[in-house]
Amino acid sequence: MTAQKMEFKTEVKQLLDLMIHSLYSHKEIFLRELISNASDAIDKARYEALTNGNILEGDGDWKIRITADKSAGTLTVSDNGIGMTKDEIVQALGTIAHSGTKEFLTMLKEKDMKDNPELIGQFGVGFYSSFMIADKVTVITRKAGKDGQGVRWESTADGSFTIEDAEKNTKGTEVILHLKDDDKKYLEEWEIRSVVRKYSDYIEHPVVMDIEREEDSTIDKGKKVKTTTEETLNSRKAIWLRNKSEVTDEEYAEFYKHISHDFTAPLKTIHFKAEGTSEFTALLYLPSKAPFNILYKDYKLGPVLYVKRVQIMDNCEELIPPYLRFVKGVVDSSDLPLNVSREILQANKQVEIIKKNITKQVLDTLRTLKDNEYDKYLGFYKEFGRIVKEGIHFDFSRKEQIADLLLFPSTKTGRDTFTTLQKYIEGMKDGQEDIYYITGATYEEALKSPYLEAFNEKDYEVLIMLDEVDDIIMSSLEYKGKKLKSAGRGDIKLDKAEEKEREQAKKKYEKIIDLMKEQLKEDVKDVRLSSRLKDSACCLVADEGDLDPHMEKILKAMGQEVPAQKRILEINPAHPLFGAMNALFEKDGKSPLLHEYTQMLFDQAALLEGSKPKDPAAFARSVAKLMVENAQRVAS
Ligand code: ADP
């Protein structure tokens, strides 16, 4: 068969381009990535042998081999792992399978990547990093267990690759890098040794290289002979099984990069051993930066699962609740069976115990971080706070513990400082019963809301919630016996004394209110006097149990069907406008002006809410008419 030429998908071309231009000062990591891939491939082959009872040739002698050929200028990384079929390699090395890739790459392009290697690191560096040091890469691979054919893949990163059948006698993969002239140093033994030590020391499988030496001949005295010995370059110690005191921060960080494909060091490392009802060791990490696809459905969550040092699964989602899905790491259990399957995991008691234990450790670590290293915590919270919050909705038993981790700006903190629910409660005024919040797209927008008028007058603090999920999550929260209430929803009663006045006003204005209700019955659920307004004449509020107005807007913007929800029009009885309208009403209940002003009142309320008047042209006409009348009156 002759070689078949195929085009890379656009995303691959873009990624290659970015990688070559942004990571050039971190070239050596290509070797870490290839060794990682080789190690994963061996884990897969071993797991296959273990679970399906497949006897694979070379079992037990798992190895990653590095070969430097100075005369050919090539560096080869080979493994005896799972290998790939033709279809698999076309898919694996010709496309990128994450959703959100396009958006992410566009975002990267807009930023100056040269100063931001960690951004592309967020994406996962991977196989393509080979092209930083090689102008041509050849991959020869054969799938384990197939008696079939080897495949040869080759590319010069010019937008395409070739694929053809190839001879390969053993299973596994060889990646042959044809080094660029400037990068020939990676053929030197000492360079390879130092890069492997630095980045891949903890890899469980041996990374070997044939080392040639000249030695004194034992037969022919005075003569030198060449000897070749296979040396293992990595210490192979499973890092999570070592004592905490023996592992350096750098070693922890390198291991994190291996399992997470992240480029940046982790924010925090959690390493512990559990004994008793369940025996396991966990090495977990809180990343510094959120992976670009953490909010997508196909984001893979969960630590790598080992059973007695044997890797069983890449992402074991049964071990961690989704609201902690940013946690990366390794869990090594002594209790689970080696041939554990997904079905067993889902119903296993040990798994449940491990999950509980991990959840507790992570939440405790976050709590300590918040209390003792607030700046670091703030960094964490900005990346992952939105995700932790989901726990309030989904983890009933730890609601309050999670609520204690939340940070919010408030009407009293300023935009960039934060308070907590605990601090909020400590600052509550006498007579204040609930915790109040308002949602908005920005701090400034929320702060300007008319819903806050009465709260400001009473000097009540109101939490400002800017995350899309906030309203759904917070409205169901009760913290230390206090309810969280949206300032923009339901009937707010802040002051008992004022209630009496309101009752009186209600009676006084009953008739005009009825008239307004009748006129606006298509548009609003109710018209009532307000307790939340102090300066504004009117506002629209959501009924108790309805969607928060901000949330409704977000859902609509996302193209979701939102059932038509009528608002309640609240009127400020203390505002002179209302007094004037009532006077007009008492004089002539049928005046057409009343009709026009009622409509204008409703339109104003819509504007205050950030919506449009129902008929903007009619509204503009009415305003213009009023201006003309007023100007003529002043001028005459
Ligand atoms: P990642 O490892 O993050 O998935 P890569 O770009 O490094 O991304 O690799 C893409 C895919 O190619 C891998 O997921 C794997 O399926 C396949 N692959 C890469 N190297 C090997 C290898 N040595 N053996 C088998 N498959 C491999």
Q: Ligand 1: does its nearest atom lie under 6 Å from the Cβ of 173?
A: yes
The answer to whether residue 594 sits within a structural domain is yes
Q: Closest by alpha carbon to 547, among 524, 564, 532?
A: 564
Of 231, 264, 284, the residue at which a domain comes to its end is: 231
Averaged over successive runs of 10 residues, the pLDDT of the chain (636 residues) comes to 86 81 79 91 86 65 96 97 94 78 74 61 76 95 84 93 93 96 96 90 92 84 87 91 93 89 91 91 96 84 88 89 96 84 81 95 98 96 94 91 96 94 95 91 89 91 90 87 89 75 86 94 93 89 79 71 84 91 91 92 88 90 93 92
Tokens coding 572: 């400020």
Ligand 1 atom at minimal distance to the Cα of residue 83: 25
pLDDT of residue 119: 65
Q: Ligand 1: does its nearest atom lie under 6 Å from the Cβ of 81?
A: yes
Q: Do residues 547 and 565 make contact, with C-beta atoms less than 8 angstroms apart? A: yes
Alpha carbon nearest to ligand 1 atom 19, residue: 37
Of 203, 231, 259, the residue at which a domain comes to its end is: 231
Q: How far is ligand 1, taken at its centre, from the CA of residue 4, in Å?
A: 21
Single-letter amino acid, residue 117? P
Q: How far is ligand 1, taken at its centre, from the CA of residue 293, in Å?
A: 18
- Whole-angstrom distance, CA of residue 593 vs CA of residue 360: 65
Alpha carbon nearest to ligand 1 atom 8, residue: 126
Q: Do residues 156 and 135 make contact, with C-beta atoms less than 8 angstroms apart? A: yes
CATH number of the domain encompassing residue 66: 3.30.565.10
**Choice from 23, 35, 40, 131 to test ligand 1 binding pocket (greatest atom count within 8 A of CB):** 40
In the chain, the number of structural domains is 3
Residue with tokens 């079905």: 343
The answer to whether residue 29 sits within a structural domain is yes
- Sign (positive/negative) of CA torsion 425, 431, 434, 440? negative
The answer to whether residue 95 sits within a structural domain is yes
Alpha carbon nearest to ligand 1 atom 20, residue: 37
Q: Do residues 411 and 462 make contact, with C-beta atoms less than 8 angstroms apart? A: yes
Alpha carbon nearest to ligand 1 atom 9, residue: 127
**Choice from 23, 63, 127, 146 to test ligand 1 binding pocket (greatest atom count within 8 A of CB):** 127
- Whole-angstrom distance, CA of residue 452 vs CA of residue 578: 20
Q: How far is ligand 1, taken at its centre, from the CA of residue 42, in Å?
A: 12
Q: Ligand 1: does its nearest atom lie under 6 Å from the Cβ of 79?
A: yes
Same domain, 221 and 335: no
The answer to whether residue 414 sits within a structural domain is no
pLDDT of residue 441: 85
Write out the E strands in 93-239: 134-142, 150-155, 160-166, 172-179, 207-216, 224-232
Q: What's the distance, CA 82 to chain centroid?
A: 31
Q: How far is ligand 1, taken at its centre, from the CA of residue 92, in Å?
A: 6
Q: How far is ligand 1, taken at its centre, from the CA of residue 601, in Å?
A: 63
Same domain, 9 and 153: yes
Q: Ligand 1: does its nearest atom lie under 6 Å from the Cβ of 172?
A: no
Alpha carbon nearest to ligand 1 atom 12, residue: 92
What is the span of the domain harbouring residue 272?
A: 239-374
Q: Ligand 1: does its nearest atom lie under 6 Å from the Cβ of 443?
A: no
Q: DSSP 3-state assignment of 362?
A: helix
Q: Ligand 1: does its nearest atom lie under 6 Å from the Cβ of 41?
A: yes
Alpha carbon nearest to ligand 1 atom 17, residue: 92
Q: Do residues 260 and 285 make contact, with C-beta atoms less than 8 angstroms apart? A: yes
Q: Closest by alpha carbon to 326, among 371, 270, 276, 372?
A: 270
Same domain, 219 and 287: no
Write out the E strands in 444-600: 463-465, 478-479, 482-486, 524-529, 538-541, 567-571
Q: How far is ligand 1, taken at its centre, from the CA of residue 74, in Å?
A: 20
Same domain, 225 and 354: no
Q: Using the 8-state DSSP alphabet, how is residue 542 labeled?
A: B
Q: DSSP 3-state assignment of 577?
A: helix
Q: Ligand 1: does its nearest atom lie under 6 Å from the Cβ of 29?
A: no
Of 340, 355, 374, the residue at which a domain comes to its end is: 374
Q: Using the 8-state DSSP alphabet, how is residue 187 labeled?
A: G
